[in-house]
Amino acid sequence: ETEITFWHAMGGALGETVNAIAEDFNASQSEYKLTPVFKGTYEETLTAGIAAFRAGEQPNILQVFDAGAATVIGAKGATVPVQDLLQANGVDFDINDYISGVRYFYADSDGKMIGMPFNSSSPVMYYNVDALEAAGVTPPKTWEEFQSVTAPALKDAGYTALAQSHLPWIFTENFMSRHNLPFATNNNGYDGVEGTKILVNNDAIKNHFKAVQQWQQDGHFEWFGTGWGDNQTPFEEGKVAIWLGSSGSFGGLSQKDLGFDFSATYLPYWEAVTTEPKQTFIGGASLFAMAGKSDAENEATAAFFEFLTKAETQFFWHKETGYVPVTTAAYDLAKAEGYYDEAPAAEVGIQQLSLPAGDNTKGYRMGFYVQIRDVMNREFGRILTGETDVDTAFGKIEDEANALLARFAKTQN
């Protein structure tokens, strides 16, 4: 029996589902044994993986979140491209089996798949159905509607209208995609690292943050911190009526006894910026096969990846967690099983990823992006605590991000 390890960042209910899949894989055959290991947050898992690689003690499989993708893909010799791994081990592979929003997010500039899409998500707008009914409003389609109709009505009904998790992901990266705004030069960074500059310092997003500040002052928005769970809790407690979070939180929310009905729909957009809102791009993470492993272990990793992408496994994962099915076959299976008749909100993530595409909606590729997010989190925190103003903060983000991008480009020569 060949043993392999899988380091991941899936805590709580998500981690239990990972364990269930690992057990199913192990029970499905007798040649390979996979051991999943929870390593903490996405950031901690990536740091642990890099340190282990340097020490020659890397796991076979490392889960890396979207923000770390460019860094890992750019770390020459650290991983075996998943497409090569599968083909070398006789596993049928066709990139077109993957839904379009997922297909190229973890691919290199030639379209070769490097990371194996696994837990793909989209940010969605969750809402407390009872609260919106009490306020006599429907979920807002635009931010204009939110600020003029939804938020004041919710306030009158005793709720804070809005909280949202992870400002870089939802109010920055996906803000760009939803409004079809370029996020970086060089085709959002996909066409090469040389000279790539971030395009975050623009009026559309600065006006958005200025509006958020106004909502904060008017009691329509509350910010509870940069931690992944910080802004979900007040929604679960019924204090905040609308929460922007990951589709990957759907399963966890459904399993809780919230004391109110919840549902989900698309992220609002600013009509002043676009009248043709676009799709969001995927979040979550993918799985990288680490280099330096024996052929036997690589064969085991390929077998696990094959198991993971089976429509049945994907459907199970999707149903338990809310992450989107990454293949068309899995999505078709979910539909054929009538899953969305029973849980229509579970389809919102994949539907939003399938909205019309634009020139700027396929994702971004920026090295040292994990550090760029740290800069954003620092500056956004300062905006929301009143320590800085929006224009100064975005100027700083632009400068520091561009310095990090230039440093990354040097590592690629």
Instruction: For residue 169, state whether it binds ligand G3P (rule: CB under 6 A).
Output: yes
Backbone angles phi, psi at 60, to 5 degrees: -70, -40
Instruction: For residue 246, state whether it binds ligand G3P (rule: CB under 6 A).
Output: yes
Q: Are 223 and 163 in contact (CB under 8 A)?
A: yes
338 bridge partner residues: none
The CA distance from 178 to 280, in Å, is 5
Q: Which of 283, 325, 363, 367 is the binder for ligand G3P (CB under 6 A)?
A: 283
Instruction: For residue 325, state whether it binds ligand G3P (rule: CB under 6 A).
Output: no
The distance of closest approach from Cβ of residue 284 to ligand G3P in the complex, given in angstroms and rounded to an integer, is: 4
The CA distance from 35 to 25, in Å, is 10
The distance of closest approach from Cβ of residue 250 to ligand G3P in the complex, given in angstroms and rounded to an integer, is: 10
Instruction: For residue 284, state whether it binds ligand G3P (rule: CB under 6 A).
Output: yes
Which segment (62-70, 197-205, 328-336, 378-386) binds ligand G3P by CB under 6 A?
62-70
The distance of closest approach from Cβ of residue 78 to ligand G3P in the complex, given in angstroms and rounded to an integer, is: 19
Taking 3-state DSSP, the helix, strand and coil percentages for the chain, each rounded to the nearest 5, stand at 50, 15, 35
**Between 85 and 168, CB nearer to ligand G3P:** 168
98 bridge partner residues: 327
The distance of closest approach from Cβ of residue 318 to ligand G3P in the complex, given in angstroms and rounded to an integer, is: 13
Dihedral class, residue 363 (left if φ above 0, else alpha if ψ from -120 to 50, else beta):
left
**Between 67 and 70, CB nearer to ligand G3P:** 67
Residue 122 in 3-state DSSP? coil
**Measuring CA to CA, which residue among 11, 80, 106 is closest to residue 363?**
106
The distance of closest approach from Cβ of residue 174 to ligand G3P in the complex, given in angstroms and rounded to an integer, is: 9
Instruction: For residue 248, state whether it binds ligand G3P (rule: CB under 6 A).
Output: yes
The CA distance from 325 to 99, in Å, is 8
Backbone angles phi, psi at 205, to 5 degrees: -75, -35
Instruction: For residue 118, state whether it binds ligand G3P (rule: CB under 6 A).
Output: no
The distance of closest approach from Cβ of residue 355 to ligand G3P in the complex, given in angstroms and rounded to an integer, is: 18
Where on the chain is the footprint of ligand G3P (CB under 6 A)?
42, 65-67, 119, 121, 169, 246, 248, 283-284
